[in-house]
Every structure is written in C-alpha cells, then in structure tokens.
Amino acid sequence: MSQRTVTVTALVRYLKSKLENDALIQGILVEGEISNFSAYRSGHWYFSIKDAGAQMRCVMFAGANRRMTWMPKDGDKVIVQADVSVYEGRGEMQLLVTGMKPAGIGDLFLQYEALKAKLAEEGLFDESHKKPIPPYPMRIALVTGKNTAARADVLNTLGRRWPIASIAEFPVLVQGTESAAQIIDALKKADTMGFDVILLVRGGGSIEDLWSFNDERLARTIYQLNTPIITGVGHEVDFTIADFVSDLRAPTPTGAAERCSPDIREVEASLSSLRSRLIVDMNHRMNKEQKALDSLSESPVFRNPMRLYTEPQLRLNTLSLEFRRLLNTVSYRLNQSLEDSRHALVLAAGQRISYAQLKLQETSQNLNHAAKADAVVQRERLNRDASLLDAYSPLKVLRRGYSITMKDQKAVRSAEELAPGDEVSVLLGTGSFRGTVEAVSEKEIDHGKEGNDI
C-alpha cells in the first residue's frame, strides 16, 4: 500500500468541507415525503425526507422553524430549502433545513394557513358563535353555481328528502377572481329575506379552484350573517375557511342538503307513530274517565242529589236562628247600657250646671262688691285731684291781681320777646283787653310789687 492512511475523523471532515463549500448544493430545494418526524423540547425538528429511491436525514433548528405557520407530520409531501452537510458523529450526510412548504400547494397553502390562524385567534371559528340549524326549514336559500353538478345534487336531495320546502336560488360564480364578491353579495341579500337556512355549496376541485372560499371578506361576511348557514364545498377531504366560519360544515353539496333537511318519510313515520300513540293515549284516558264517571253516577249523591244540600240547609237554618237570638240579646244589652249612660249623663250634667250657677252668683256678688269699693276709692281720689288742680289753677292766681300777656296767642315770659308797636292781649282775673306796646324795659322787676310794665 503506497498511499498513506488517514483517520475516520479526518476523512469525514474533508468530505464535510467539500460538501459545505460546494455552492451547487447549498440552499438547494429538495422535494420528498417526511418520515420519522420528531419535535424536541429544545425546539429543533428532526426527520427524514424520502422518495421512492432514497432518503436523507434532516434537521431544522428552532431558529428556522419558528417562522413556520404550520406543523409538518409524517407523510406530508414538502419542498425544503436546505444546505447539504455531514454529521461527523455518525459520518452521515444530512440536510440543514432553513425553510419548508407543502409540495404542490406552495404559497396558496401558506396563505390559507396564515389566514386560518388569524381568524381563529379573532374568534371567528368559536362554537359559541355558531347558530343552531332549524330542524324543519320551510324556506331555504341556495347559493351555488348556475347549472352545476353541485346545484343538481342539492335540488335532487332536497326534492327527495324534503319536497315541501320552498327553495330560492342565488346563482353565482364559484371560482375565479370575481366569484368571492358575487358570493358575498348573494349571502347579504339572502340574509335580509327571512330564510330559515342558507346553503353555500360547490363541487370538488383543486385548491386554486376552491380559493374563492378562502377569501377573508367572505369569511367575515359569513360570521356576521343572522341566518344559519351550512357549507358543502369540495370533497370530504377539502376544508376551506368558509367551512370553519359557517354554522355547520358538510363534506359535500349532497351532505349539505342532507344536513339541512329532515327525511320526509321519517317525519311522516314519526308523525304516524305519534298519531297512533296519541289515539291510544286518548282512548285510555277516555276509558279511565268513563269508568270514573260511571262510578260517580252510581254513588248515593247522584242517585239522590237532594242530599247534597239538605244537611247544609239545616245547618244554615240552625245557625240563622242562633244568630238572630244572639243579635237580639246583644241589641237589648246595648239599649240598656245606652239608657243607663243617658240617665247618668243627665244627672251629671244637672249637678254640673247647678254648681256652675252657684259659682256664677258668688262671682257676680264679689264683682259687685269690688266694683262699689273701687268706685268709692276712685271718687275720693278724683275729689283730691280736683281740689289740687283747683288750688293750682292759674285762674285763681289771676283773681289775686295777676295777668297773662299774650302775643300771637303765646304767653310772653320775658320783655325780650316784645318790641314797641307789638299788639298784645292781656288776660285778667275777670275779662281781658288788647293793647299796643309803647316801650320795653328789660330791667328786672321787683316781684314784691304787683303789676307789670307794658
């Protein structure tokens, strides 16, 4: 052996270096089926991707799978974006996955999952919001494509199961760019017309064909409807956003018609059974009541109806007599008591009046005596006051030779009040006279002398 030997580690690292430096296999897109998928507590995902001829181990670290909006599982067909590398511990080639999406669906599926998660978080899928489906709808609105197999299936099913219902059709486009807007308009119109239930159906197709039923505006319209709505879109494996928001999801258009309507044959059978039971119950009740009536008709009361009220009549008469006796007794006692009270009242009133008359006479005499005594005292006081007034009367002073000089009807007290030429009147003890002042002297007069100078 002319070649030198190398260690396993060195060989694996060499191969690892070669692979990781080859730009052609870095960021490569690989399509295959997932198997042996495991999600560790660390957040890393470990799985294999395989096809009919080979498989490779894969690892998707937590930093990369954190951006995923859906959880892969065994059997999913996917396209992964990865770098080719070697795991040195086992010397195995592996893919370091940096991105993943479902194979064959691509961006539409990712949009679907993102919208589904958004609306679920907002509560549009909550069971508490879903309205009950009426058990016997008589007015049904059908929103579907015109002249489609889904329409025919629904009409055939309803015609077979519940032909007594009235069906109003709202034909719309069920795929294409304009279909979502047409479906929304049809649902809003039907919601105002008083239908018992609305059916929104479409036959199967690819995800692109069914994409109108994943429209966010349509989902919010369905959520706001006042009328219960059943969806039957695609095949049993197809789920659209409209299915999650609706009040009831059926796997197919035919299933929607079946969920909407009862089977008229079963209803008729049930009604027939109920009718039979009602007749049996009525006959049983009538027989029972007839027996009771027969038993009552044979009773002594019905044979002699007078017994029903004879005894009560006797009791009533007895009570009436007792009541009258009691009433007379009470009335007599009341009259006696009233008469006694009247006599007592008259006697008491007479005594009170006599006493009051005596008190009045006594008071009158006392008042007369007091008035006479007071009159004597007042008369004596008046005489004294009159004598005193007479003693101090100015007329007596005038009779002793004094006079009163008046000017302008006012008594003159001082010579300063007079001036030569003033007219005065002089009041004497007997009579008076008028005169004119000739001269005035302010010299004090000796009051020991009688007379005044004028």
Is 380 part of a structural domain of the chain?
A: no
Same domain for 258 and 148, yes or no, is: yes
d(CA 333, CA 344): 16
Chain centre distance of CA 256? 39
Q: Are residues 145 and 182 in the same domain?
A: yes
Residue 65 · residue 112 · CB < 8 Å: no
Could you read off the pLDDT of 354-384 as tens digits, one per residue?
888 888 888 888 888 888 888 888 888 988 8
Give 418's contacts (C-beta < 8 A, 6+ positions apart): 407, 412, 424, 437, 440
If asked whether residues 422 and 347 sit together in one domain, one would say no
Tell me, yes or no, whether 98 and 127 share the same domain.
Answer: no
- Asked whether residue 219 is domain-assigned, the answer is yes
| Of 258, 267, 264, 187, nearest in space to 228 by CA | 187
Q: Which of 87, 72, 90, 88 is nearest to 32 (CA)?
A: 72
Q: What's the token pair of residue 203?
A: 């036959």
What is the pTM for the complete model shown?
Answer: 0.48
Q: Is 364 exposed, middle or buried (CB count within 10 Å of its CB: 0-12, 13-18, 19+)? A: exposed
- As a whole number of Å, the CA-based R_g of the chain is 67
The answer to the question of residue 304 being in a domain is no
Q: Which domain holds residue 257?
A: 123-262
Structure tokens at 101: 């999406």
pLDDT tens per residue across all 454 residues of the chain? 457 888 899 888 888 888 888 888 888 899 888 888 999 989 999 999 988 888 999 999 998 888 887 888 888 888 999 999 998 888 889 999 999 888 765 566 778 888 999 999 999 999 999 999 999 999 999 999 999 999 999 999 999 999 999 999 999 999 999 999 999 999 999 999 999 999 999 998 777 788 899 999 999 999 999 999 999 998 877 789 999 999 999 999 999 999 999 999 999 999 999 999 999 999 999 999 988 888 877 777 667 777 667 778 888 888 888 998 998 889 889 989 888 888 888 888 888 888 888 888 888 888 888 888 888 888 889 888 877 877 777 777 777 777 888 888 888 888 888 888 888 888 887 788 888 988 888 766 555 444 444 4
Q: Based on the domain organization, do 14 and 86 belong to the same domain?
A: yes
CA distance 225 to 196: 12
pLDDT, tens only, 13-22: 888 888 888 8
Flag whether 182 is in a domain: yes
Q: Contact 211/180 with Cβ under 8 angstroms?
A: no
Please count the residues of the chain: 454
Sequence-distant (≥ 6) Cβ neighbours of residue 230 within 8 angstroms: 133, 197, 198, 199, 200, 246, 247, 248, 249, 250, 256, 259, 260
Q: Is 45 helix (H, G, I), strand (E, B) or coil?
A: strand
Span 177-233, pLDDT tens digits: 999 999 999 999 999 999 999 999 999 877 778 889 999 999 999 999 999 999 999
Beta strand 139-144 pairing with 197-202: parallel
User: Residues 258, 132: one domain?
Assistant: yes
What's the structural domain count of the chain? 4
Whether 24 and 74 map to the same domain: the answer is: yes
